[in-house]
C-alpha cells in the first residue's frame, strides 16, 4: 500500500496558565502567533496536507489563519489530546492518509529539519507509533517517559507517582507522534479519562499499542530545544529569546552586520541583503525587506516595510507599511506611517511624519514637517514646520506639490490644493488656493511695527 502522510496540529486548548482568555496558540513570538511557526514547519514537509484541531475561541484562530480554511477541525469540548485526535480522525481518513504526524500547536521552536529527522527514524523502523522524547534537568509539567521490562509508557505529570513508576529520569514526552492510522485508530475508543485531569490523553496510546502487539518506537532527541512547548508567560518569553537568537545568528551567517545583536529583534519573515549594517537596540517585524548596503542605526522600529539598497535610516525612526528607495535618508526621529513612499534619493529628516504621502526623487523635507495625503514632486524642498492640512473634520483631502518647488518654513497647505512646478511659497503662509507653475505665493498678514507702550 502506498503511504500517504499528513500532519495534524493540536490547537484547541485554553492555555489557562497563560492567564489570558485568548487562545494560547495565538500568543505571539517576534510578532507571529506560535501556531504560525508550527504550521510553517509542517507545511514545509507536507504542503497542503496540514490540518489543525481548534476549540477554545475557534473563530479567533480561524480568522488568524485564513490559509488553513477548510482544514480546521472543531473540538467543541476540550476533553484532552486523545479526544482531539478522535475528533480529527474522520477528516484524516477521508483524506486517504495512511500516516499522520501529530504536533502540539504550542511548540513554536519546531523546525522542518528537526521533524524531518524524527520522521526518517520512524519511517525506517516502520513503527505503528513513534514519538519524540527529550531529556530535561527539570521535567516540569511534561509527561514522564517510563521504561521498564514491560516496555515504555508515558505518564502525565499530574499522575506520576515515584512509588509506582520509579524515580523520574528527566526523559519526557515532547508531544510529537507519528501514527499509522490503520492500526492506531481502533485504539482511540479504548482511551479512558480515569486520571486526575479527567481527560483523554493521546499519550495513553503508547501503552495500548504495546498491549495490542503493535510496534512502538521512542525516538530520543537529547536536550533538543526545538521540541519545547509553551505553557506560561515565562516559557513564552524564553522561547521567544531562543527564536530571536536563531534569527540573528542566521542573518550574521548570511553576511549581515548586526551590532549589539543581543538587543536586536528580527521577525521570521524579514529578508535582509548581505552587507546591510544594523545596530541594536532595533526591532524589525513582518514581511519587511532590507536591501544590500543599507544602514539602520539604533532605536528604530520597522514593520511591514520595503527599504531598498543603500538607504540610511538614522536613530529613533518608526517605519510601518512604507517604502524607502535607494539612496534615501530617513531621520533621526522620523515616522513613516502606512502608505508613505520615499523615492530615490529623497530625505525625510528629524521629526518628519509622512502618512499616505510620496516624496519624489531627490525631494527633501528635512525638519519638523507633517506630510499627509500628499504628493511631492522631484527635487522639491519642503521647509521646516510645514504641514499639509489634509482633514476637514469629515473627509481627507490631497495636497499635490510639483517638481522643484520651494515651500517656505512654517507653511500650512490647506487641502485640496495644488502647488505648481517651480513655485515658491513664502515662509509662514497659509495656502488655500492652487498656485500656478513658477508663481510666488504669499498668504500671511503684513508685518506691523508700532511703538512699544
**Residue 145, C-beta contacts closer than 8 angstroms, at least 6 positions apart:** 133, 152, 153, 154, 169, 171, 172, 173, 218
Is the peptide bond prior to 433 cis by the omega test (within 30 degrees of 0)? no
355 is in an annotated binding site: yes
Chain centroid to Cα 67, Å, comes to 15
398 is in an annotated binding site: no
Give me the DSSP letters along 356-421: S-EEPTT-EEEEEEEEESEEE-TT-EE-TT-EEE-B-SS-B--EEE-TT-EE-TT-EEESSEEE-T
370 is in an annotated binding site: yes
320 is in an annotated binding site: no
Which residue reads 536586536 in cell numbers?
A: 264
427 is in an annotated binding site: yes
384 is in an annotated binding site: yes
51 Rama class: left (phi>0) / alpha (psi -120 to 50) / beta: beta
374 is in an annotated binding site: no
227 is in an annotated binding site: no
333 is in an annotated binding site: no
10 is in an annotated binding site: yes
C-alpha cell at 26: 495565538
207 is in an annotated binding site: no
13 is in an annotated binding site: yes
12 is in an annotated binding site: yes
Backbone phi and psi for residue 140, each to the nearest 5 degrees, phi listed first = 55, -130
337 is in an annotated binding site: yes
Spatial distance between the Cα atoms of 397 and 374, rounded to a whole number of angstroms? 9
193 is in an annotated binding site: no
Is the peptide bond prior to 227 cis by the omega test (within 30 degrees of 0)? no
Catalytic residue from among 83, 165, 367, 397 = 367
Residue length, the chain? 453
Spatial distance between the Cα atoms of 316 and 230, rounded to a whole number of angstroms? 33
Tell me whether residue 367 is one of the annotated catalytic residues. Answer: yes
Annotated binding-site residue numbers for acetyl-CoA: 384, 390-391, 409, 427, 444
Residues making up the annotated binding site are: 10-13, 24, 75, 80-81, 106, 143, 156, 173, 231, 337, 355, 370, 381, 384, 390-391, 409, 427, 444
User: Which residues are known binding-site members for Mg(2+)?
Assistant: 106, 231
Residues contributing to the annotated binding site for UDP-N-acetyl-alpha-D-glucosamine:
10-13, 24, 75, 80-81, 143, 156, 173, 231, 337, 355, 370, 381
- Write out the catalytic residue numbers: 367
Amino acid at each position: 500500500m502506498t503511504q500517504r502522510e499528513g500532519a495534524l496540529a493540536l490547537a484547541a486548548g485554553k492555555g489557562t496558565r497563560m492567564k489570558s482568555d485568548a487562545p494560547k496558540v495565538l500568543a505571539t513570538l517576534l510578532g507571529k502567533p506560535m501556531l504560525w511557526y508550527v504550521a510553517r514547519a509542517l507545511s514545509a514537509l507536507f504542503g497542503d496536507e496540514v490540518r489543525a484541531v481548534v476549540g477554545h475561541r475557534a473563530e479567533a484562530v480561524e480568522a488568524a489563519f485564513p490559509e488553513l480554511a477548510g482544514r480546521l477541525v472543531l473540538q467543541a469540548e476540550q476533553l484532552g489530546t486523545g479526544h482531539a485526535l478522535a475528533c480529527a480522525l474522520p477528516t484524516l481518513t477521508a483524506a486517504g492518509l495512511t500516516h499522520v504526524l501529530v504536533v502540539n500547536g504550542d511548540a513554536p521552536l519546531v523546525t522542518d529539519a528537526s521533524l524531518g529527522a524524527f520522521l526518517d527514524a520512524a519511517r525506517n523502523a516502520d513503527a505503528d507509533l513513534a514519538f519524540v522524547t527529550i531529556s530535561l534537568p527539570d521535567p516540569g509539567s511534561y509527561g514522564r517517559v517510563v521504561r521498564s521490562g514491560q516496555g515504555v509508557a508515558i505518564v502525565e505529570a499530574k499522575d506520576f507517582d515515584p512509588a509506582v513508576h520509579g524515580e523520574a529520569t528527566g526523559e519526557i514526552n515532547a508531544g510529537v507522534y507519528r501514527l499509522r492510522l490503520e492500526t492506531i485508530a481502533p485504539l482511540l475508543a479504548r482511551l479512558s479519562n480515569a486520571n486526575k485531569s479527567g481527560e483523554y490523553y493521546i499519550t495513553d496510546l503508547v501503552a495500548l499499542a504495546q498491549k495490542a502487539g503493535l510496534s512502538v518506537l521512542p525516538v530520543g532527541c537529547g536536550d533538543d530545544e526545538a521540541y519545547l512547548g509553551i505553557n506560561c508567560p515565562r516559557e513564552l518569553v524564553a522561547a521567544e529569546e531562543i527564536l530571536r537568537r536563531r534569527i540573528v545568528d542566521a542573518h550574521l551567517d548570511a553576511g549581515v552586520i548586526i551590532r549589539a545583536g543581543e538587543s536586536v529583534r528580527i521577525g521570521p519573515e524579514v529578508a535582509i541583503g548581505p552587507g546591510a549594517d544594523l545596530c541594536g537596540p532595533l526591532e524589525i517585524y513582518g514581511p519587511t525587506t532590507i536591501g544590500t548596503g543599507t544602514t539602520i542605526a539604533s532605536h528604530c522600529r520597522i514593520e511591514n516595510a520595503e527599504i531598498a539598497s543603500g538607504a540610511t535610516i538614522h536613530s529613533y525612526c518608526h517605519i510601518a507599511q512604507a517604502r524607502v528607495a535607494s539612496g534615501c535618508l530617513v531621520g533621526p526621529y522620523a515616522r513613516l506611517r502606512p502608505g508613505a513612499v520615499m523615492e530615490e534619493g529623497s530625505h525625510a529628516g528629524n521629526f518628519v511624519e509622512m502618512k499616505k504621502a510620496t516624496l519624489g526623487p531627490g525631494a527633501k523635507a528635512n525638519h519638523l514637517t507633517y506630510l499627509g495625503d500628499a504628493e511631492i514632486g522631484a527635487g522639491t524642498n519642503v521647509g521646516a514646520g510645514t504641514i499639509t492640512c489634509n482633514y476637514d473634520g469629515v473627509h481627507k483631502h490631497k495636497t499635490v506639490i510639483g517638481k522643484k518647488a520651494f515651500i517656505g518654513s512654517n507653511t500650512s497647505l490647506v487641502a485640496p490644493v495644488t502647488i505648481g512646478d517651480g513655485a515658491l511659497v513664502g515662509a509662514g503662509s497659509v495656502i488655500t488656493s492652487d498656485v500656478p507653475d513658477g508663481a510666488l505665493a504669499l498668504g500671511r498678514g503684513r508685518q506691523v511695527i508700532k511703538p512699544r507702550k
